[in-house]
Structure 1
Amino acid sequence: MTLGYNEKLVLLKLAELKKAKIEELSKVTGLEQVAVMRALLTLEAQGLARIHEEAKKIVRITEIGKRYLEVGLPEIRALKLLRDKGRISIRDLETTLDKEEINPTIGILRREGWAKIIKTEKELILEITEKGIKAEERGIDKALKLLSQGEVTVDEVEKVIPVRELKRRKIAEEDEKVERIAEITDKGLELVKRGIELKKEVTALTPELIASGKWREVELKPFNIKAPVRKVYPGKKQPYRVFLDKIRRRLIEMGFIEMTVESLIETQFWNFDALFQPQNHPAREWTDTYQLKYPEKGYLPDDKLVAKVKEAHERGLAGSRGWGYVWSPERAMLLMPRAHATALSARQLAKGVEIPGKYFTIQRVFRPDVLDRTHLIEFNQIDGFIIGEDLTFRHLLGILKKFATEIAGAKKVKFLPDYYPFTEPSVQLSAYHPELGWVEFGGAGVFREEMTEALGIKVPVIAWGIGIDRLAMFKLGIDDIRYLFSYDLRWLREAKLIW
């Protein structure tokens, strides 16, 4: 059995006292209460001491009570004035009492029988009585003196005055205090009887100790590597940010090129028109997308590209008849917070791409929605596309399944037919969450030729847009999407590591 200096010292003092409070042990050992408690926990773990708690009701003085200790109770101050003058007016009380104390004090003086009230034509007069002249110390006066010494038990106060009276006058408040009591066990007494050598402890042998020979007079402090210690929460990235960074790194390792953009604001041209989404589509209205109030409009790209997109919408490209309406450049210039990250795919295709090539982006997007466990109005989306000569719809399904199983950790996935104005065929990806059931992750498809040809692309492009926040729910083991942006310190500290 290995004990340190503090444990030995506390055990020796406890053997003398048999039973003691932590405060008392601190006083007799000269150690801080924290050090005493730490020593006792070690002794208790080795069966040499016991610690138990005793709860007791105590009475503490309030700020009002402390003030009365300094200046005296209002009725005592008023009585002193009466004894000096015999009779006083109500106005005289204002010299020694606060305005809010006057009426209650008059009531106490009458109730105690210390003064009587005389009504005159001009004012009320207080006149001291015989009982007021001979007034002795009351229970409340004794209680106030008792409270000046610090915390007092309810039983001690009740001997001089009911605690409810002190609480009614806001002089004191009732509370519960838990005291820790330590006592030595038979095993501890037996160890003390066998003898304990108390030597000064050191944590390391220094050259001075060795050279002077004082190493013989000290003991090396033992360290219990199994002892419980305080948890340390070092600085770290927010769990969801870690997830996003790891997704980004994995995609780059897989050969994808990241598409970046500085602004969150987009023209409707890139958000809708370049994606072959007609200008009368309901998704372009205020119920489904946000609109920028000021500035209202932005700029269109070069005329050649705009003319191609206009042609695709009005008359069609690649054998298509288009949407058959008059396309408005004014509508295309309207500004909006980006509604989907697919707008960056259109920008990249128009700018130029490697063929074959793989591209992705992780972007913040905005949509009017009802906030709940699986929906946000501001969220992250991972969009990407692969371009190549021989790509098919089957390649797209394989990519989506890999995302859901390997990156999100979903056990079951399913594909459902879907519709998007800019892909054909189109598919919806869903995965099974143990708490929420089947959750829609996003949509995907093969970009329509009307869209890609307007942007100068002549080969197949498979593309997807996935709600990465929902992927994170799977990976982080949470059932409410709002928790990804939570300020809950417990979750931020204890969220499980991913990968």
Structure 2
Amino acid sequence: MASQTESLPDALLEALAEKGRVDSYEYATSVGRNHQDVVGAVKSLESVGDVIKTEQKQTELWELTEEGKEIAENGSHEVRLFEAVDQSNGTPQNELMSTVPNAKIGFSKAMSNKWLRIDKSSPGPPQVYRNVESVTDTVRKLLCSLKGESGRGELSDENLKEFKKRKLITNTIIKSYVITQGPSFTTSISKKSTELTAEMIQNGSWKNEEFKSYNFNALGAPLATGHLHPLLKVRTEIRQIFLEMGFCEMPTNNFIESSFWNFDALFQPQQHPARDAHDTFFLKDPQFSYDFPTEYLERVKTMHQTGGHGSIGYQYDWKLEEAQKNILRTHTTAVSTRMLYKLGQQVGVVHSNE
């Protein structure tokens, strides 16, 4: 048995020299080592050269669950309930249910197997009687055949399906390696050099060195590139929060806008220097827009000319021709003016903790 301090690859070679063929999973179990550690040792030996040959293998391993182990130890639920029924006078059903462990499952299985019958004719709770003199605990016998076995024991496909459904057993697929001796097999492996140094060239020791072959197909270290900017990540998180609350994003793909929505609806005077601050580009074709909500246009016009709601307005002659001029949108607030008008025509959504 390999000790914890002994080199696992060396111990594996010793076992291979003795047996000629080794299963990595069976070997790991026999020496009390983790199977992945043994697989690592196999990979290490494969990298040396033709010392070993390997073949991958898959094994289906069936194991008892905690309930399965309890049944293997004490008997199945159905047999234990059957044995609790008085052979001569029967036993009240409610008494069985309260005194026998896992009585509900056991009663169901025993009735399904026609081991028991129920008499409801007499006064009081239903009486349970044995329908057969004795029974064989096949479930316990089959589960016991799995204990310590790496295969399926005596269980048929139907047994496996039933016991897995009852959660008495579980299965695991074990991927292991069948290891045999390679053309260059040896139990003594010297460590190969991984690089040619200046010192080796100067003293000539390179002539007697054994160098490890280069793996030109090996992948290089991944480059850390293309990361998201932290502010973009925060913006994405906040955007998602608002979208999940029911908010919608405004469409900002209309780059051509009328002066009405870009300036007038934001109450910038038509001949005011504030409009020049945006370095506005006016379009020649199409030069004007004509589709405006009439009632809203009139309210904007009135606010410019005479004001309202406590304002006296700008006190000038507002001209529709100026508002109709098409421009390259100077800010996305123009989108906000359109959306505010659109949303104002319907019932709004209110978020409140009241």
- So what's the TM-score if we normalise by structure 2? 0.50
Deviations, residues 351-392 of structure 1 (Å, cap 9, x unaligned): xxxxxxxxxxxxxxxxxxxxxxxxxxxxxxxxxxxxxxxxxx
Q: Comparing 13-22 with 79-88, which one deviates more in the overlay?
A: 79-88
Per the alignment, residue 420 of structure 1 pairs with 328
Counterpart pick for 1:101 among 105, 108, 116:
105
CA 1:171–1:229: 2 relative to 1, 3 Å: farther
Q: 1:174 to 1:315 in 2, by over 3 A?
A: same
Give matches, 1:44-59, under 5 Å: 44-45=46-47, 46-59=49-62
Consecutive unaligned residues in structure 1, runs of 5 or more: 200-221, 245-276, 286-308, 331-417, 424-441, 443-499
CA-to-partner distance for each residue in 1:330-364, whole Å, 9 max, x for gaps? Answer: 9xxxxxxxxxxxxxxxxxxxxxxxxxxxxxxxxxx
Residues 51 and 243 of structure 1: CA distance in aligned 2, closer, same or farther (over 3 Å): farther
Q: CA deviation at 1:126?
A: 2.4
Partner of 1:125: 127
Mapping 1:343-358, distance limit 5 Å: none
Q: AA paired with 1:167?
A: K
Aligned to 2:71: 68
Aligned residue for 2:261?
281
Question: Is the contact between residue 79 and residue 110 of structure 2 (CA under 8 Å) also seen in structure 1?
Answer: no
**Secondary structure of 1:136's match?**
coil
Unaligned runs of 5+ in 2: 1-5, 192-209, 233-256, 283-299, 310-325, 333-354
Do the aligned partners of 1:65 and 1:171 also contact (CA within 8 Å) in 2? yes
Relative distance call for 1:30 and 1:229 in structure 2 (3 A) is farther
* CA distance in 1: counterparts of 2:117 and 2:162, whole angstroms: 24
Kindly report which structure 2 residues correspond to 1:360-399, keeping only aligned pairs within 5 A, or say none. none
Residue 104 of structure 1 deviates from its aligned partner by: 0.7
- Higher relative contact order, chain-length normalized (CA < 8 Å, sep 6+): 2
* SS, match of residue 17 in structure 2: helix
Is the 1:88–1:126 Cα contact (8 Å) retained in structure 2? yes
Confirm whether residue 145 of structure 1 aligns to residue 144 of structure 2: yes
Corresponding residue for residue 357 of structure 1: none
1:315 aligns with 2:319: no
- For 1:329 and 1:91, how far apart are their aligned partners in 2? 85
User: Does 2:191 correspond to 1:187?
Assistant: no
1 CA distance for matches of 2:264 and 2:69?
68
2-structure distance, mates of 1:225, 1:168: 52
* Matching residue within 81, 89, 94 for 1:91: 94
Could you tell me whether the CA contact under 8 Å between 2:262 and 2:330 is conserved in 1? Answer: no
Question: CA offset at residue 40 of structure 1?
Answer: 1.6
Is contact 1:14-1:183 (8 Å) kept?
Answer: yes
Q: Counterparts of 1:81 and 1:319 in 2: how far apart (Å)?
A: 97
Residues 75, 108 of structure 1: 8 Å contact kept:
no
How much does 1:29 deviate? Answer: 6.7
* 156, 167, 172: which one aligns with 1:158: 156
Name the CA shift for 1:226/1:26 in 2 (closer, same or farther; >3 Å): farther
| Alignment-derived partner of residue 42 in structure 2 | 40
Q: How does 1:317-336 map to 2 (within 5 A)?
A: 317=273, 325=301, 326-327=303-304
Please report how far the alpha carbon of residue 49 of structure 1 lies from its aligned counterpart in structure 2 after TM superposition: 0.9
Conserved 8 A contact 1:87-1:127: yes
List per-residue Cα deviations over 1:163-205 (Å, max 9, x = no partner). Answer: 23323433234453333222222321xx34xxx3899xxxxxx
Q: Please tell me the residue identity of whatever aligns with 2:59.
A: K
What is the root-mean-square deviation in Å for CA atoms of aligned residues?
5.1
Residue type matched to 2:144 in 1? K
Instruction: Flag the 1:157–1:283 CA change in 2: closer, same or farther, 3 A.
Output: farther
Distance 2:35 2:327 in 1: 70
**Alignment match, 1:485:** none
Label 1:151 to 1:29 Cα distance change in 2 as closer, same or farther (>3 A): closer
More strand by share: 1
Give distance in 1, aligned partners of 2:213 and 2:51: 20
* Structure 1 pair 153–9 and aligned structure 2 pair: CA distance change class (3 A): closer
Q: Does 1:239 find its partner at 2:227?
A: yes
Alpha-carbon distance between aligned partners in 1 of 2:269 and 2:45, rounded to the nearest angstrom: 83
CA positional deviation for 1:31: 6.1
For residue 154 of structure 1, give the secondary structure of its aligned residue in structure 2: coil
Query: How far apart, CA to CA, are the structure 1 residues paired with 2:26 and 2:190?
Result: 20
Note closer, same or farther for the CA distance 1:179–1:284 as it changes in structure 2 (3 Å cut). farther
Local SS of the residue matching 2:228 = helix
**TM-score in terms of structure 1 length:** 0.38
Amino acid corresponding to residue 42 of structure 1 in structure 2: S
Distance 1:233 1:70 in 2: 54
Answer whether contact 2:78 2:106 (CA < 8 A) is retained: no
- CA shift for structure 1 position 141: 1.7
For 1:27 and 1:106, the matched residues in 2 are separated by: 39
1: distance between equivalents of 2:263 and 2:173? 62
Give the Cα–Cα distance (whole angstroms) in 2 for the partners of residues 173 and 238 of structure 1.
Answer: 45
Larger Cα-atom Rg? 2
Q: Find the aligned partners of 2:190 and 2:273 in 1 and give their Cα distance.
A: 95
Letter in 2 for 1:143: L
Deviation at 1:86, TM superposition (A): 5.2
Cα distance in 2 for partners of 1:152, 1:167 equals: 16
SS state of the match for residue 85, structure 2? helix
* Structure 1 pair 14–56 and aligned structure 2 pair: CA distance change class (3 A): same
